Amino acid sequence: MSVPYVCVTGGTGYIGCHTVVALLEAGYNVLIIDNLSNSSYEAINRIQKITGKNPAFEKVDVTDLSALNLVFMRYKIDSVIHFAALKAVGESSRLPLEYYRVNVGGSINLLQVMDLHGVENLVYSSSATVYGDATRFENMIPIPEHCPLGPTNPYGRTKRTTEDIFRDYSASKPNFSVALLRYFNPAGAHPSGLMGEDPRGIPNNLLPYLSQVATKRRPYLSVFGNDYNSKDGTPIRDYIHVVDLARAHLVALKSLPKGQCKEWNIGTGRGSTVMDVIAAFSKAVGRDLPYKIEGRRAGDVLDLTADPTLITKELGYKTEKTLEEACIDLWRWQSGNPYGYQTEDGEDITPY
Ligand code: NAD
Ligand code: WQD
C-alpha cells in the first residue's frame, strides 16, 4: 500500500518550505502544490539538501479547479495544509478582488476537491490580522482566541472569510477536521542557513527589510512611528521563529480533533517593540544598523501579542526559540544568500 500524501499548498513559500522540512523529517510523504507566484523552485532543492528527501511537486494554481482536481486524482492524499495565498496588506487595498479571488476562491476550490475525494483533514494558515486592533477592548492583550474579530484591511478580511467558510463546511460534515492556526509575526530562517524568506521587490515587513539594510541593499530602516503607548513608543508584536511555527502544523495535524473546527493562536506570548527588534538583529549582525523615525504607517496597531496558552493546554504545543535565535538564523540566511533564491538581477537561480 502506498503511503498517503500530506498535500501542502504554497509549500515553496516562506512558512510552507519550513513546514515541508519538518514533515519530511517526521517521515511524512509530502506533495507540494504551488504556482511559484511568490516563491522559487530552488526552495525544493534546499528542502532536499536539508532533509535528504524529495517532496513531490505540482505547479498548479489553486484558483484552477480542474487542475486541482487532476492532482487529487493522481495522488492519494489524506490531509492538506493550506498556505497558498496572497499576503501583502497594502497591495490588498489596491487589488481587493484579486485577494478575494485567490485567498477565498482558492480555498473554496480546495474544499470542493477535498469534498469530492473524501479528504477530511485540513490545517489552515490564518493570521493574527483577523483580530484587528484588540486594544479597542479591555483585557484583550495578550489576545485570546475568543477576542472578537475585526480585521482592518481586505487581506485580513479574506482570512476571516476563509475561516468562516471552513467553519461552516466543518459544521456540515461530521468527520471533517480543521485547525485554523492564527499566526502572529513569523520571523527567522532555517538554522542551516539554506532556507529563509525571499521577498520579491521591496520587503513590507520589519525583519526582511532590516536584513536588507544589513546587507546594504537598503540604506536605512524607516521606523513607522515612536509615539505609541509602549516603553519606547514603537509598536509591540509577537515574533515567532518560523521553525517553531512550522512545528505547530505537525502538532495540529497529528492531533486534529475528529470532526471539529478549532482556532488556535500560534505565538510566543512575548511582545517586542520595533526598537527591541532593531537591537536584537543589530546584535546578531555585530554592528548598529541605521534607522530613521518616521510617521505612523496607516493601519498599524499598538499591540499584537498572543495568548498562546490554549494550544499548550489542548495539544501540549509550546514555542521553544527566542527572538534572538530568530535574528541569528535570519542573519545566517541573509548574509549567505543576499538575493535569496535569485541572482542580483532578479532571475531565479533554478528556473522551473
Ligand atoms: P509566501 O508568499 O512566502 O508563501 C505563499 C505561497 O503560496 C508562495 O509560494 C506562492 O507562490 C503560493 N501561491 C500564491 N498564490 C497561489 C495560487 N493562486 N496558487 C498556488 N500557489 C499560490 O507567504 P508565507 O509568509 O509563507 O505565508 C503562508 C501563509 O501564511 C499565507 O496564507 C499567509 O496569508 C499566512 N500568514 C503569513 C504571515 C506572515 O507574516 N508571513 C502571517 C500570518 C499568516
Ligand atoms: C511590524 C512592526 C511596523 C516595517 C504583518 C501583517 C499581518 C501578518 C504579519 C500576514 C510594525 C514596523 C515595519 C518597516 C517599521 N501577515 N515596521 N518599518 O504589520 O505587524 O503584520 O505581517 O498575515 O497580517 O499585517 O508586521 O513586519 O510589517 O511590522 O517600523 O519598514 O514593524 O510599523 O509596528 P505587521 P510588519
State how far the Cα of 42 lies from the Cα of 131, in Å rounded to an integer: 34
As for the ipTM of the complex, it is 0.99
Pairing of strands 236-237, 303-304: parallel
Q: How far is the CA of 298 from the centre of ligand 1 (A)?
A: 22
Contact by Cβ (8 Å): 268, 238: yes
Cα-based torsion angle of the residue sequence 165, 169, 170, 171 in order, rounded to the nearest 10 degrees = 110
Kindly state the cell numbers that stand for 226: 515612536
Q: Which residues of 101-118 are buried (b: 16+ CB within 10 A; e: fewer)?
A: ebbbbbbebbbebbeebe
Q: How far is the CA of 205 from the centre of ligand 2 (A)?
A: 5
Q: How far is the CA of 10 from the centre of ligand 1 (A)?
A: 6
Distances in Å between the Cα of 283 and the Cα atoms of 35, 327, 333 are 37, 8, 16
- Helices and strands, number each (H, E), in the chain: 12, 14
Q: How far is the CA of 184 from the centre of ligand 2 (A)?
A: 10
Q: Which residues are CB-contacts of 155 (< 8 A; sequence separation ≥ 6)?
A: 86, 87, 88, 89, 91, 92, 99, 103, 129
Establish whether residue 239 lines the binding site of ligand 1, counting it when its CB lies within 6 angstroms of any ligand atom. Answer: no
Distances in Å between the Cα of 286 and the Cα atoms of 278, 279, 328 are 12, 10, 10
Residues whose beta carbon lies within 6 Å of some atom of ligand 2? 87, 89, 127, 129, 185, 204-206, 209, 221-224, 235, 237, 274, 297, 300, 304
Contact by Cβ (8 Å): 76, 4: yes
State how far the Cα of 236 lies from the Cα of 274, in Å rounded to an integer: 7
State how far the Cα of 241 lies from the Cα of 324, in Å rounded to an integer: 9
Residue nearest to atom 44 of ligand 1 (CA): 127
Closest listed residue to residue 236, CA positions, set 331, 130, 142: 142
Residues marked active site are found at: 155
Establish whether residue 34 lines the binding site of ligand 1, counting it when its CB lies within 6 angstroms of any ligand atom. Answer: yes
State the pLDDT at residue 1.
Answer: 55
Show pLDDT as tens, one digit a residue, over the chain (352 residues): 578 999 999 999 999 999 999 999 999 999 999 999 999 999 999 999 999 999 999 999 999 999 999 999 999 999 999 999 999 999 999 999 999 999 999 999 999 999 999 999 999 999 999 999 999 999 999 999 999 999 999 999 999 999 999 999 999 999 999 999 999 999 999 999 999 999 999 999 999 999 999 999 999 999 999 999 999 999 999 999 999 999 999 999 999 989 999 999 999 999 999 999 999 999 999 999 999 999 999 999 999 999 999 999 999 999 999 999 999 999 999 999 999 999 988 899 988 9
DSSP string, 287-305: S---EEEEPPPTT--SEE-
Task: Give residue 343's Cα distance to chain centre.
Answer: 24
Kindly state the cell numbers that stand for 48: 532536499
Q: Where are the alpha helices (DSSP H) in the chain?
A: 14-25, 42-51, 65-74, 89-94, 96-99, 106-116, 154-172, 206-214, 242-255, 274-285, 309-315, 323-336
Q: Which residues on neighbouring strands pair with residue 272, listed in sequence order?
A: 237
Q: Which residues on neighbouring strands pair with residue 31, listed in sequence order?
A: 7, 56
**69: how many CB neighbours lie within 10 A of its CB?**
15
At 3 the three-state DSSP class reads: coil
Atom of ligand 2 nearest to the CA of 224: 30
Instruction: Report phi then psi at 9, rounded to 5.
Output: -80, 145
State the pLDDT at residue 103.
Answer: 98
Burial class of 242 by CB neighbour count within 10 A (0 to 12, 13 to 18, 19+) = buried
Establish whether residue 305 lines the binding site of ligand 1, counting it when its CB lies within 6 angstroms of any ligand atom. Answer: no
